[in-house]
Each structure stands twice: as structure tokens, then as C-alpha cells.
């Protein structure tokens, strides 16, 4: 339900008044004006299957736009404002656009008039440490911000947005403060800085805004792409591994920064040298089919992709380098476009898979001055697709200046007069209104089982906060443990991959209970040989499997936790040494592509793993003991 128009305007006006008077805009200061918005949605946000939900379990559709500028796109007057310098990245003053021309109260009021509920707010890592105050003319319409550093201006904008009822998703857009996104030293999270520094900055930002109620998410890095020499990858375990870097940053944000935040992981934006005759393309989220992220909180992951008409499945969006134009999204018909969107991103929203998550199209857009029929048709087709699929989205960009960027939803001349999609003269208005007014799931969202992958391909995969707190339970081995609230349901014969779930029972673990590391058969009861001739790592009575460890391809130990209620039920042996052995329908999907897998049914829990060390036999797990949930 949208915030009442009067409440919106009161909140916006109150925030703007504070800035005009030079008073700090904080969540507590803005709360009197924003009290009527409290019932609209409640932080923190989390996920249920393909949907984002609020603290009450009600759908919160990310109907968003990007407030560009803090990462380095501000242009006003003077030498730093020359468009050539703007695109060359010579402006080091990152300021959200519009603050020089319009009081923030009016900006927020106009944002509400668009009916958006969320703002993606870019920043640069350089912005965080810049100590030089922004130029006065960058915040001319908001004199209360004069003399502040870029980060302090960002603080005020975050607080004002939150106080006005918006959800705010922080977005690390660039390493250095400049426009992006080409070959510019900002291709990867670690192009101009170390991965360690990048993750440290994220912990800093998560902590800084932890007390601001409207800050609900961390979009880890914008448009990961190829630099001059190397492609990013998804799972190779090297310095360019975006999968591993995102996992690292997410872990640190949720443990050291703010455990309440949604974690937004964008796909790979493009790979390959964009020249005809050489392979290049836009993987986006396709690698998640076989290698998906599992966070310490299993219900905080949101995947993200960007779509522009001038890019495409085999087109980076670069011009003048010989890329063929028949690979652009705007060259596809409606059916072809829908198939591309499904294949590159929206397959993630299929429920019951290890990769299931909401998909947020956190950038799409087009210019108001666009006259090309193919580009205009694409915009209508893509907004129709988003509407039909009830998609989460964020338009790029939200605000700009007349003559600065005709892509914006709202633009302001030097006198502060507004134009854009709120005006019927803008050809995009009909498509925008159609998207915003399309039917959408709302209200309570039913809980669905979670399925999450464990991967020890290159490192530990201990996704449990409780297990981490207990220390290293098998030193020297690669370890995997399910997120708290989930249990181990499947494992691959190669031992590197596992599958976790809470299907059928929810959190099975007892509160305050410890864990048991099993390395031998001491817990196999007399007469209970469920895998004759094989070594059996069986949990103590009343316990269930939550993890395992491996050395090379060989199983090293099983990790068990006691149940919250007595665990009993009939048991069966699930062999998978010579073929897959999974329930019909294979809930969770293929969590170990190319390997044999064993999996308990949703109404069962895993209580043991069997393997053999016999000469000539593969060293991986061979069987699971699955018991019926009581």
C-alpha cells in the first residue's frame, strides 16, 4: 500500500526544511513527520522464494529508481562541469544530482509522485575517504549542506530518504569517483583497490547506516565486467572470482556490519573483447544455475541484472569497435526478448531450486529524446515484461538536469523547474504508468521451503553463524555447514557439493544445543549396519546432519546437531555411488552438475554418510542414511 500523499508531502517538506536551516537530518529528527508511514512497510526486509517481504511477511515489491551522482556524475558550472570532463572522470566530488537546483524536500515530493518506494543510491569507494568539502554550487539549493564532505552529504540524503518513507539500497558503483562503465579502472570490485579494502569499506558503510531504518540493502558492486586483459569469472577461485568476492563481502556485512541487510549480487555484465570475430557476451546470472550463493542468513539474497536496449546477449553496449548490432536487446522481437530475459536472469525466480531468489532489475532506462523505432519498441516490450512478471526494478537514472541527461525520470532547469515522465509530453510516460499500475502480488506471502547449495570447490563453505562461533571443527579440511535453520539434505559423490533445506519441518535444531563432530562409527548402534562394508559416519541418536568436511575428494568428518524434539522414524539407505539417487522432482535442483548425488526426501532428515576406502573405489561419499521426520 502506498504512503498517503499528505504524509509523503509532510515528510518531504520536513526533511527539506531541516536541510535548508542547516540542521542535521537524522532518522530520529525526521520521525515525527514520518510516523504515518510506519504502517506501510516495516524493516528489515528478507525473502520468501522469489519475493522480497517486509518484517510482517508482506510483499515489498522493489519499485525503485537510481539517484545518480554520489559515485561521481555531478555536473554544475565551472571547469569541472564540462561534459567531456564529466565522462572522463575528472570530477572527484560525488554529490547526488539535483541538490544544486532543488531543495531536497521538493525532490522527495517529486520522487513520491512517481510512486516509487525504493531508491538505489550509488557511491564510490573514493567518496568514503574524501575529506574535501563539496563545492558550494553543488548543493546551492540546499545551503544546510554547504561545507560538508561528499560522505556527509550522502549521510544527509540517506537520512532524508529514510525519514520520508523510502527504502534505501546502498550501491557500490565505482572504486574511484567518476562516471562509469567502460574500461576505466572500475571494471571489478578490485580494479583500483584490493578485495580486502573493498570488503572493509562495505563493513564501514553497513555499520554507518545500521541505525537508519530505511537502509535495507547492500548492492555489492555495479556491472562487474572485463578490463583490458582479463574477464571476471564465477567460481574459479582466483583474484577475478566475482562469486567468491561477493560471498566474502556478504559474510562480512552480515557478521561485522548489519545482519539485517538484504545482500544484492549482480551478475557478470560482460566478458570478452568486444570486437567482431572474438567471443563476447553478457553472462548476467546464468552461472547461478550451477553455482549459487548461500548466505549466512538463507533469506537475505537478492540477485540482480541490468538491461538496456543498446546492449544484448552478445553485445556489451560498446560502440565503434565492430560489435554486430543484431545481438542487441532492441533488435529482438517480444518473444525473443522474453526468452533472453528468462535465460539470463528470471530463471532464478523458479521456486524450489538452490538458486531461487528475487531478481531485481536494478538498472534499465531510455532517453526521452529517443526517436529510433527499435529502441522505443524495446522499452515498451521490456516494461510489459516487467509488468507481466511482477518484477522488482529500478529505473536509471532518477534525476538530472535539463541538457545534462535526457534519460532521467525527472530533470530540472537552472530555475528548478521540473520536466520528465510526470509530464504527458514525455513519450515514456505511458510505459512508465503501465509498469507502475500493473497488477502485483501484495499482502502476506506464504512461506516456502528454502534450498541452498554448499560448495567446497576452493574454500570452506561454513554458512552457519553458530558453527563458526564454535571454532574450527576439522583443522586442515575444507568444511561445509548449512545456514542456521537448515539441515543437510543431499551430498555429491565427489564430496565437494551439498544441499541444505528446511522443507517439511522448518528449523529442526534445538536452542542452546551444541554440535558433534563424527569421524568414526562410534554412534552406529549394534545391528544397525545400514551400509555393509562401508565406513559410516552416523549422528548420535536424536541428532541430524548439518555439515561435513573433506580432504581432497575424501570425506573427513560429519557434523551433527541435536534436534529440538526427539528424532525417530524409519530409516533407509540412499546409494549414489553409481548414479543419481534423488526424490522424484528433485527439489533443490542440480546442486552438483556432472556428479552423482544422493538426497533425502523433504519429509526426511539425513542422519549419516557412508563411504569406502577400498582400493579402486572413488573416495567420495557413497550413501546417505535418511530417516523420516517424526
Alpha helices by DSSP H, listed for 392-495, are: 429-437, 465-469
Clarify whether residues 217 and 282 are in a common domain. yes
Phi, psi of 586 (to 5 degrees): 45, 60
Three cell numbers at 106? 521538493
The pLDDT tens digits of the residues spanning 435-492 come to 999 999 999 999 999 999 999 999 999 999 999 999 999 999 999 999 999 999 999 9
How much is the pLDDT for 141?
96
Report whether pLDDT(322) > 90.
no
Give the chain's domain count. 2
The pLDDT tens digits of the residues spanning 283-316 come to 999 999 999 999 999 999 999 999 999 999 888 8
Among the listed ranges 434-438, 521-525, 584-588, 589-593, which one has the minimum average pLDDT value? 584-588
The residue whose grid cell reads 509522485 is: 113
How much is the pLDDT for 477?
95
Clarify whether residues 419 and 517 are in a common domain. no
CB 275 within 8 A of CB 322: yes
Q: 404 to each of 367, 412, 427, 482, 492, how far by Cα in Å?
A: 11, 10, 18, 49, 55
Nearest to 164 by CA among 393, 10, 344, 326: 10
The residue whose grid cell reads 536541510 is: 19
- Residue 219 contacts by C-beta under 8 Å, 6 or more apart in sequence? 120, 169, 170, 171, 172, 264, 266, 304, 362
How much is the pLDDT for 177?
82
From 375, 402, 437, give the residue that closes a domain: 437
The pLDDT tens digits of the residues spanning 127-151 come to 999 999 999 999 999 999 999 999 9
Any domain includes 419? yes
The pLDDT tens digits of the residues spanning 30-49 come to 322 333 344 489 999 999 99
- Residue 545 contacts by C-beta under 8 Å, 6 or more apart in sequence? 487, 488, 539, 558, 559, 560, 605, 606, 607, 608, 609
Report whether pLDDT(153) > 80.
yes
Clarify whether residues 415 and 477 are in a common domain. no
Any domain includes 458? yes
CATH number at residue 383: 3.20.20.80
Phi, psi of 103 (to 5 degrees): -60, 145
What gap in Å lies between CA 270 and CA 281, rounded to an integer?
Answer: 6
Under the banding of pLDDT at 50, 70 and 90, the label for residue 424 is confident
The pLDDT tens digits of the residues spanning 68-96 come to 999 986 554 332 333 333 333 334 578 99
CB 263 within 8 A of CB 295: yes
Mean per-residue pLDDT of the chain = 88
Clarify whether residues 419 and 498 are in a common domain. no
Under the banding of pLDDT at 50, 70 and 90, the label for residue 587 is very high
DSSP string computed for 125-138: HHHHH--SPPPGGG
From 392, 414, 437, give the residue that closes a domain: 437
Any domain includes 392? yes
The pLDDT tens digits of the residues spanning 257-266 come to 999 999 999 9
Range of the domain at 31: 5-437
Three cell numbers at 480? 561445509
β-pairing, 215-219 vs 262-266, is: parallel
How much is the pLDDT for 609?
97
What gap in Å lies between CA 393 and CA 118, rounded to an integer?
Answer: 9
From 404, 437, 470, give the residue that closes a domain: 437
Clarify whether residues 468 and 406 are in a common domain. no
Report whether pLDDT(17) > 70.
no
What gap in Å lies between CA 456 and CA 496, rounded to an integer?
Answer: 5
Q: 40 to each of 20, 29, 49, 117, 501, how far by Cα in Å?
A: 28, 20, 22, 10, 31
The residue whose grid cell reads 502476506 is: 444
Any domain includes 109? yes
Clarify whether residues 280 and 359 are in a common domain. yes
Any domain includes 575? yes
Any domain includes 444? no
Residue 570 or residue 172, greater confidence: 172
Clarify whether residues 466 and 565 are in a common domain. yes
Sheet containing 461-462: give its strands across. 461-462, 478-481, 543-551, 554-562, 516-518
Report whether pLDDT(542) > 60.
yes
Strand, coil or helix: what is 615? coil
Clarify whether residues 44 and 125 are in a common domain. yes
Nearest to 481 by CA among 545, 571, 435: 545
How much is the pLDDT for 280?
81
Residue 352 or residue 229, greater confidence: 352
What gap in Å lies between CA 597 and CA 30, rounded to an integer?
Answer: 54
Strand residue runs (E) in 365-507: 392-395, 399-401, 410-412, 418-420, 451-455, 461-462, 478-481, 487-492, 497-501
Clarify whether residues 426 and 546 are in a common domain. no
Any domain includes 446? no
Clarify whether residues 494 and 378 are in a common domain. no
Clarify whether residues 198 and 95 are in a common domain. yes
Clarify whether residues 404 and 475 are in a common domain. no
- Residue 302 contacts by C-beta under 8 Å, 6 or more apart in sequence? 47, 52, 217, 262, 263, 264, 265, 357, 358, 359, 360, 392
What gap in Å lies between CA 376 and CA 594, rounded to an integer?
Answer: 43
Q: What is the SS3 assignment for 230-288?
A: CCCECCCCCCCEHHHHHHHHHHHHHHHHCCCCEEEEECEEEECCCCCCCCCECCECHHH
Three cell numbers at 450? 528454502
Any domain includes 81? yes
Under the banding of pLDDT at 50, 70 and 90, the label for residue 278 is confident
The pLDDT tens digits of the residues spanning 508-536 come to 998 766 899 999 999 999 889 999 999 99
Three cell numbers at 393? 526494478
CB 76 within 8 A of CB 412: no
Phi, psi of 86 (to 5 degrees): -55, -50
Three cell numbers at 559? 557434523
What gap in Å lies between CA 48 and CA 611, rounded to an integer?
Answer: 36
Residue 605 or residue 81, greater confidence: 605
Under the banding of pLDDT at 50, 70 and 90, the label for residue 178 is confident
Amino acid at each position: 500500500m502506498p504512503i498517503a500523499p499528505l504524509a509523503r508531502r509532510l515528510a518531504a517538506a520536513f526533511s527539506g526544511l531541516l536541510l535548508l536551516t542547516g540542521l542535521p537530518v537524522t532518522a530520529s529528527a525526521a520521525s515525527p513527520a514520518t510516523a504515518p508511514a510506519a504502517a506501510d512497510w516495516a524493516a528489515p526486509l528478507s525473502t520468501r522464494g522469489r519475493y522480497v517481504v517486509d518484517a510482517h511477511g508482506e510483499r515489498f515489491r522493489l519499485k525503485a529508481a537510481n539517484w545518480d551522482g554520489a559515485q561521481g556524475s555531478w555536473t554544475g558550472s565551472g571547469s569541472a562541469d564540462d561534459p567531456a570532463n564529466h565522462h572522463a572522470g575528472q570530477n572527484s566530488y560525488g554529490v547526488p544530482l539535483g541538490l544544486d537546483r532543488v531543495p531536497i524536500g521538493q525532490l522527495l515530493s517529486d520522487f513520491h509522485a512517481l510512486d516509487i518506494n525504493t531508491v538505489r543510491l550509488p557511491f564510490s569507494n573514493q567518496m568514503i575517504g574524501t575529506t574535501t568539502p563539496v563545492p558550494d554550487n553543488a548543493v546551492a539549493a540546499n545551503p544546510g549542506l554547504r561545507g560538508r564532505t561528499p560522505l556527509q552529504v550522502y549521510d544527509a540524503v540517506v537520512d532524508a530518504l529514510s525519514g520520508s518513507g523510502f527504502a534505501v539500497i546502498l550501491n557500490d558503483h565505482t572504486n574511484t569517483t567518476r562516471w562509469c562503465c567502460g574500461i576505466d579502472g572500475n571494471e571489478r570490485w578490485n580494479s583500483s583497490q584490493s578485495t580486502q579494502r573493498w570488503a572493509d569499506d562495505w563493513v564501514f558503510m553497513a555499520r554507518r547506516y545500521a541505525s537508519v531504518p530505511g537502509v535495507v540493502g547492500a548492492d555489492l558492486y555495479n556491472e562487474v565486467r572485463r578490463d583490458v586483459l582479463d574477464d571476471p569469472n564465477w567460481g574459479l577461485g582466483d583474484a577475478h572470482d566475482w562469486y567468491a568476492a561477493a560471498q566474502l563481502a556478504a559474510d562480512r556485512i552480515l557478521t561485522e556490519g548489519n545482519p539485517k541487510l538484504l545482500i544484492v549480487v549482480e551478475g557478470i555484465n560482460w566478458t570478452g573483447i568486444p570486437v567482431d570475430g572474438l567471443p563476447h557476451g553478457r553472462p548476467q546470472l546464468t552461472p547461478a544455475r550451477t553455482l549459487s550463493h548461500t548466505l549466512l542468513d538463507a533469506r537475505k539474497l537478492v540477485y540482480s541484472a541490468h538491461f538496456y536496449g543498446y546492449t544484448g546477449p552478445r553485445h556489451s553496449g560498446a560502440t565503434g569497435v565492430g560489435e554486430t548490432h543484431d545481438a542487441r536487446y532492441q533488435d529482438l522481437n517480444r518473444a525473443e526478448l522474453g526468452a533472453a530475459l528468462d535465460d539470463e536472469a528470471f530463471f532464478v525466480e523458479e521456486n524450489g531450486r538452490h538458486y531461487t531468489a528475487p531478481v531485481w532489475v536494478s538498472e534499465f532506462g531510455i532517453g526521452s529524446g529517443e526517436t529510433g523505432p527499435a529502441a522505443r519498441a524495446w522499452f515498451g516490450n521490456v516494461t510489459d515484461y516487467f509488468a507481466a512478471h511482477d518484477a522488482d526494478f529500478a529505473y536509471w537514472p532518477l534525476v538530472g538536469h535539463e541538457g545534462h541527461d535526457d534519460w532521467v525520470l525527472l530533470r530540472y532547469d537552472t530555475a528548478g523547474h521540473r520536466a520528465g515522465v510526470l509530464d504527458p509530453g514525455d513519450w515514456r510516460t505511458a510505459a512508465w504508468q503501465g509498469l507502475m499500475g500493473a497488477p502485483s502480488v501484495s499482502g502476506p506471502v506464504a512461506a516456502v521451503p528454502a534450498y541452498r547449495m554448499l560448495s567446497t570447490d576452493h574454500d570452506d563453505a561454513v554458512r552457519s553463524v553458530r558453527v563458526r562461533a564454535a571454532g574450527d571443527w576439522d583443522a586442515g579440511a575444507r568444511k561445509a555447514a548449512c545456514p542456521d535453520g537448515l539441515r543437510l539434505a543431499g551430498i555429491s559423490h565427489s564430496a565437494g557439493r551439498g544441499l541444505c533445506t528446511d522443507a517439511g519441518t522448518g528449523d529442526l535444531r534445538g536452542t542452546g544445543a551444541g554440535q558433534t563432530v563424527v569421524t568414526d562409527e562410534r554412534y552406529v548402534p549394534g545391528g544397525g549396519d545400514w551400509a555393509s562394508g562401508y565406513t559410516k559416519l552416523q549422528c548420535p541418536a536424536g541428532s541430524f546432519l548439518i555439515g561435513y568436511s573433506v580432504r581432497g575428494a575424501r570425506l573427513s568428518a560429519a557434523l551433527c546437531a541435536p534436534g529440538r524434539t526427539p528424532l525417530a522414524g524409519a530409516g533407509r539407505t540412499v546409494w549414489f555411488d553409481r548414479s543419481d539417487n534423488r526424490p522424484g522432482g528433485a527439489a533443490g535442483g542440480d546442486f552438483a552438475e556432472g556428479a552423482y548425488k544422493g538426497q533425502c526426501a523433504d519429509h526426511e532428515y539425513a542422519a549419516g554418510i557412508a563411504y569406502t576406502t577400498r582400493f579402486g573405489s572413488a573416495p567420495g561419499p557413497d550413501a546417505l542414511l535418511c530417516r523420516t521426520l517424526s
